[in-house]
Structure 1
Amino acid sequence: MDNSRKMVVPLPESDLNKKEQVAGMFDRIAGKYDFLNHLLSLGIDKGWRKKAIRSIEPIQPKQILDVATGTGDFAIACLAISPDKVTGVDISEGMLAVGRTKMKEKQLEDKISLMYGDSEQLPFEDNSFDAITCAYGVRNFENLEKGLSQMQRVLRSGGRLAILEFSHPKKFPFRQLYKFYFRYILPTIGKAVSKDATAYTYLPQSVAAFPEGQDFLKILTKCGFKQVKARPLTFGITTLYTAEK
């Protein structure tokens, strides 16, 4: 396990490993996840996803892998650039069940396939995908470098990676407002709606522990990616990381 960073888990007293705790946490909140996701981000998350998808559009990817796909919102958004197939993987069966229902209702089952998949052991051949996306999932990896290395392995040469992850605004007053919102408002609303006390307390803790900006770019480079870039969005609330193989 990578011990160079503090390991933040949803349930510090639990004997389960981080992967098991994260899967269980998302299983518990799956039914409310989409509603909370858009509510707590004030709907801005849709714009962030569009920017991420635009970053992979120039290579016209036909096979896209969405890691930590959750209920499949990012996978659906990827259809805007006309891939042949989007494959979404996640370790939470609860989130996948919600996502599969969504695909069925939207009649997208021929375009999007959702399946159980562990980022540290992706069940695909080398060079299988033209592009890989991941929204707000990498900070939940138990071993960040192992997960990123697996993503690099299944991406074809010349393929593109787009990762969205929360980050910290640097300028006044956005930094102060963000800290207050993340520490007090978000956990209160999250707990009230999801009825889960841990998920939205873990979220700001996991963001605080994540190696953002240049630190994350160094890790991407170490894992074999090239042309690594970080683009802060909305005053730095989130960051779009892009890379190539």
Structure 2
Amino acid sequence: MPRRRKHYPPVGEAAGKKRQVAAMFDAIAPRYDLLNRILSAGIDQRWRRQAVDLIAPEQPRRVLDVATGTADLAIEVARRLPVERVVGVDIAETMLQIGQEKIARLGLNDRVILRKGDAEKLPFSDAQFDAVLVAFGVRNFENLERGLRESYRVLRPGGVLVVLEFSHPRTPIIRTLYRWYAHHVLPRIGAWLSRDEGAYRYLPASVEAFPDGPDFLQRMASVGFQELLWKPLTFGIASLYRGRR
């Protein structure tokens, strides 16, 4: 079977990006979970657990998972916390379909709901959620500030936003090794398993363009978030960010 040749989203913030992001993730959806486990050696699951750990002290009852993908994070919340409802939104329909199948297999249909939705125009009224989570999604926003403002809007006063995202390792040797892996190994494995090398070349390029660390905290502060926290994970390959409305 020949590899797909497609146009992939521009990195960073750019007009028209969200449509291409949706098409890209729909294309790789059938192998998305498998590739995550292989390419991260399973560490991505630990990172998601740590994201849930950050909202657990808030004892949230209603949680929103933005850019939910195949719903791994929404499922983690529902399994570990006594929430009333977790709502996951994403613009990629095939990812949502796979996520819904996982939710049904786990018997979580009564607590986890998936909806197609745009992170920059969320289909919810103001102050609906106690916590908002975004895992590996903010770097794909067409307009980062607009997406953060929407998360702020749907949070109740005092609610928290937690973002899990890839970042730039600060230690030179780790940064060099990770860049080599991301640019040379990751696309080859991605192409082999998904037959879509372009998607796995977009990933490291989008990580490099993302304003991580203190720069991202400044973006959060600019839309109103307070009590900001930045926590690098696994030598800085990923980071957790938290802000309170």
State the partner residue of 2:17.
18
- CA root-mean-square deviation: 1.2
- Cα displacement string for residues 186-218 of structure 1 (whole angstroms, at most 9, x for unaligned residues): 111011111112210000000000000111000
**Offset of 1:11 from its aligned partner?**
4.6
Distance 1:61 1:184 in 2: 41
Distance 2:169 2:197 in 1: 26
- Cα displacement string for residues 85-112 of structure 1 (whole angstroms, at most 9, x for unaligned residues): 1000000001001111111111111010
CA contact (8 A) 1:166 1:238 kept: yes
- Cα displacement string for residues 112-170 of structure 1 (whole angstroms, at most 9, x for unaligned residues): 00110101110001000000001000000000000000000000111111100001111
Code of the aligned partner of 2:232 = P
State the partner residue of 2:27.
28
The residue matched to 2:171 in structure 1 has which SS? Answer: coil
Is 1:157 aligned to residue 157 of structure 2? Answer: yes
State the partner residue of 2:177.
177
CA contact (8 A) 1:11 1:198 kept: no
The residue matched to 2:176 in structure 1 has which SS? Answer: helix
Alignment coverage as a number of residue pairs: 234
Distance 2:228 2:8 in 1: 30
Code of the aligned partner of 1:10 = Y
Q: How does 1:40-189 map to 2 (within 5 A)?
A: 40-79=39-78, 80-189=80-189
State the partner residue of 1:238.
238
Give structure 1 regions of 4+ aligned residues with deviation exceeding 6 angstroms.
none
Note the residue ranges of structure 1 that are not aligned, 5 or more in a row: 1-8
**Offset of 1:172 from its aligned partner?**
3.7
The residue matched to 1:49 in structure 2 has which SS? Answer: helix
State the partner residue of 2:4.
none
- Cα displacement string for residues 217-244 of structure 1 (whole angstroms, at most 9, x for unaligned residues): 0000001111111110111000000110
Code of the aligned partner of 1:206 = S
**Offset of 1:17 from its aligned partner?**
1.6
The residue matched to 2:163 in structure 1 has which SS? Answer: strand
- Cα displacement string for residues 41-61 of structure 1 (whole angstroms, at most 9, x for unaligned residues): 110111111111111111100
The residue matched to 2:25 in structure 1 has which SS? Answer: helix
The residue matched to 1:121 in structure 2 has which SS? Answer: coil
Code of the aligned partner of 1:118 = D
Indicate the percent of aligned positions where both proteins have the same amino acid.
51
Code of the aligned partner of 2:8 = P
Distance 2:123 2:211 in 1: 27
The residue matched to 2:120 in structure 1 has which SS? Answer: helix
CA contact (8 A) 2:9 2:21 kept: no
Distance 1:212 1:206 in 2: 11
- Cα displacement string for residues 37-87 of structure 1 (whole angstroms, at most 9, x for unaligned residues): 111111011111111111111110000000000000000111202211100
Distance 2:199 2:82 in 1: 34
Code of the aligned partner of 1:201 = R
CA contact (8 A) 2:168 2:236 kept: yes
Distance 1:83 1:126 in 2: 19
Distance 1:94 1:49 in 2: 21
CA contact (8 A) 1:145 1:219 kept: yes
Distance 1:172 1:206 in 2: 20
